[in-house]
Copies of this chain bind each other. A is one copy, B any other.
């Protein structure tokens, strides 16, 4: 049975956050990323795949589609054999231990995807985002995280409310802070990264106990700032390096 027009329309609608929230579903595509989600605690809704991988996915009761149909439902330029829908996680409570990363209005899906991969690499299991941070179930984010989202829990919260209640030190990344290479960094704490253009908002800055900066080494007129994803990688590396030295 070919895939119905209404189903095509429903899947296409999931490229928008509003419909993802309404339906509680998001799209995962391509065998590699799909396999990671199938092996995670995300709950599968349904599978659409082309004939030549149908045997591999037969236990998931796939709907077989043609390449042309796959192209219609896919958000990728070059669809890759399989498209699945998974259920959006309901948020558990955020833990009050460990090192956590907070994003204050990060806008770019590529940056969020890179940051989720970094959290996965550095063992940061909870990523807390402001309500205006780009949605982690955005198809571009899902495809660029390469499955890391199955290992990092992402929360969207009222940041001011959240930060007002935490008991660990809060570190803001900003241009005029303490030299991070000289700072004494704790194992537990909260690191806040800001928006691509505006940095951390002044409202959120009020909650910080510390401001950290990555020194600039260029001797000529220098680049304005590091990209938020590369700055995050350096900051997470600094927080983790004392543990990393012991491994």
Interface residues of A (CB under 8 A from B): 39, 110, 114, 117-118, 120-123, 146-148, 151, 179, 181-182, 214-224, 226-227, 229-231, 233-234, 237-238, 240-241, 243-245, 247
Contacts and interface: CB of A to CB of B under 8 A. Distances in A.
A181 B241 CA distance: 6
Contacts of A237: 214, 234, 237-238
A244 B121 contact: no
A226 to B, nearest CB: 6
Contacts of A220: 151
Contact of A226 (B118, B231, B240): B118
Given A245-B179, A247-B179, A217 B146 contact: no
Given A217-B240, A229-B229, 19 more contacts: A39-B221, A117-B227, A117-B230, A118-B226, A121-B214, A121-B217, A121-B218, A121-B222, A121-B223, A146-B223, A151-B220, A215-B244, A229-B230, A230-B233, A231-B233, A233-B234, A234-B234, A234-B237, A237-B237
Contacts of A240: 217
Nearest to A235: B237
Contacts of A224: 146
Given A120-B218, A218-B121, A233-B233, A223 B179 contact: no
A227 B114 CA distance: 8
A233 B235 CA distance: 10
A244 B120 contact: no
A181 B222 contact: no
Contacts of A233: 226, 230-231, 233-234
Nearest to A115: B230
